[in-house]
Structure 1
Amino acid sequence: MNWRELPPAGRPYAEVIGDPISHSKSPDIHGFWLERLGIDAAYRHAHVPAEDLEAYFDARRKDPEWRGCNATLPHKLAALRLADRRSAGAEAVGAANCIMPAGDGALLSDNSDVGGFLEPLGRDNLVGKRAAVIGAGGAARAVVYALANRGADRITVLNRTPAKARALVDELAPGRGDAAGIDAGLVPADLLVNASSLGMTGQAPLKLDLSPLLPGATVYDIVYAPLDTALLQDARARGLVTIDGLSMLIGQARSAFSMFFGREPAMTDDKLLRQRLTA
């Protein structure tokens, strides 16, 4: 749906914005929770090209029914810049995926990706562990920030533009990180995270030799379209632990839902939610 098309007046709503956006499962996730909690509100897709992002926020500031939005590719960096206020988390990460009204026409940016990324890792101790991260965009920033703050010993960022990987490491994991082009291949690691769009439907494939990963390593792909990516299939074939993109998507959506609608969805519903999303 084009962002200029508004839902019926008189009903609160939130939305996910991006370009492309039709693949997003966020409306299904938030819609499930709205139904379970009996909240009379809506959550939808809104296609917002990069050149329209500032106009989008200017319009939403004036809409009393708008409760906020999730920002996905390619808006996470620009959304931080365009908001009037920033949470400490968004400021630290340098990217925002949640933007909401803050009163008097102001907008607040926040970041739920950090918690969403960590949620499926549970209480796994990353102290002394080595991690490799693919990508250097908004999602990768949240991942590197989370890993650094959870105590990962070494973080290697691989990106198609090595200079971007270097800048990310120097900013968020100084003294503990390495950077290289994605063609350089993997280093020995306990955890591999694909935080890029590579391997997503309609995007270039992610071609990696996983043999350098350490025995028992975890491979975590934040891509969820397709859900069972070639990267995860390769990892399973090697007997490695895998985490799919729905895990992070649901985790970050839980925090965003609380921001938008003032209620926290129960984790006990996650099994049913996942069944609906994968049916």
Structure 2
Amino acid sequence: MRLISGSARLAGVTGWPVAHSRSPRIHNTWLARHGIDGAYVPLPIRPDDFPSVIPALAKAGFAGVNVTIPHKEAAFAICVKVDDFARRAGAVNTLIFTPHGIEGSNTDGYGFVANLRHHGVKPAAGPVLILGAGGAARGIGAALQDEGAEITITNRTPERAAALAAALPPAKVLPWEQREDALGDYALLINTTSLGMVHEPPLPMNLDRAAPGLAVADIIFAPLETQLLADAKARGLKPVEGLGMLLHQAVPGFSAWFGVTPEVDEALYRIVAA
């Protein structure tokens, strides 16, 4: 059994709710693996309490926290400094408590690109079609642009797609009803919507017109294999699951809080998937 001392370094994940989060399993696995005197805990915080509780955690000695729904935009607002990805996404998922104040970053794009590479997919191998226009799409789109990829946004609400494209120039917009007919023009398809998640309807996406070699990525990790990924596999396309993104996006925060850059490997994948 791993024991912690009175000088243990502390971090955690906050959301409302937060009981579903797999982040404690990720970070505590790394803490045990590296023999670090520390702990990573779930922190359920009501939205109204977020602006007051987070600074209190910093004063209580926490090194920082991960931020999940619905706090990502509120986290952005309380930072004295944010990185470029957070600024372009308008949202923060990682807070670092420093002597100079609360600093924020958005590691969603980092995690997504790292997961692509883990699966042997080049981020800028060709044009990219992103389904959805929420915060995850913003972070992923910004990271792909930094890799040199040309991105196109499509969303059921066209105004949201247009707003995201305007925030990530020179991104293009594709009408939602044309997404299947245009598949042959893309090298990478990404689902950033909640469609296909447990208790959600499946994503309506026919892959028959996909170009050979199309990589199909889904940021959903519950279930591990969505209907979209199963369809991609059945057609001989390249599926990229979402759990790897979750694992890789955790690396920068752990490194900042605990001073060690951890490894994402198959053992960690099995532990978290279980």
TM over 0.5: yes
List per-residue Cα deviations over 1:241-263 (Å, max 9, x = no partner). Answer: 11111111111111111011111
- SS of structure 2 residue aligned to 1:256: helix
**1:157 positional shift:** 1.6
**2:153 maps to 1:157:** yes
Q: Unpaired segments of 5 or more residues in structure 1?
A: 1-7
Instruction: Output the amino acid matched with 1:88.
Output: D
Q: Unpaired segments of 5 or more residues in structure 2?
A: none
What residue is the counterpart of 2:18 in the other structure? 21
Distance 1:262 1:144, change over 3 A: same
List per-residue Cα deviations over 1:99-143 (Å, max 9, x = no partner). Answer: 121215x21001222221111222744446121112222211111
Instruction: Output the amino acid matched with 1:242.
Output: P
What residue is the counterpart of 1:76 in the other structure? 72
**1:32 positional shift:** 0.6
- CA distance in 2 between counterparts of 1:116 and 1:137 reads 17
List per-residue Cα deviations over 1:22-47 (Å, max 9, x = no partner). Answer: 22211111111000000111112222
What residue is the counterpart of 1:275 in the other structure? 270
- CA distance in 1 between counterparts of 2:179 and 2:235 reads 17
List per-residue Cα deviations over 1:200-234 (Å, max 9, x = no partner). Answer: 22344322222232211111111111211122111
**2:129 maps to 1:132:** yes
Distance 1:124 1:240, change over 3 A: closer
Aligned length: 266
**2:222 maps to 1:225:** yes
TM norm structure 2: 0.87
1:195-214 counterparts in 2 under 5 A? 195-214=192-211
**1:10 positional shift:** 5.2
TM norm structure 1: 0.86
- CA distance in 2 between counterparts of 1:46 and 1:222 reads 23
**1:78 positional shift:** 2.6
Distance 1:241 1:20, change over 3 A: farther
- CA distance in 2 between counterparts of 1:78 and 1:161 reads 24
**2:91 maps to 1:107:** no
Instruction: Output the amino acid matched with 2:116.
Output: L
Among the aligned pairs, what percent are the same residue? 38
1:37-186 counterparts in 2 under 5 A? 37-64=34-61, 66-104=62-100, 106-122=101-117, 124-127=121-124, 129-153=126-150, 155-172=151-168, 174-181=169-176, 184-186=178-180
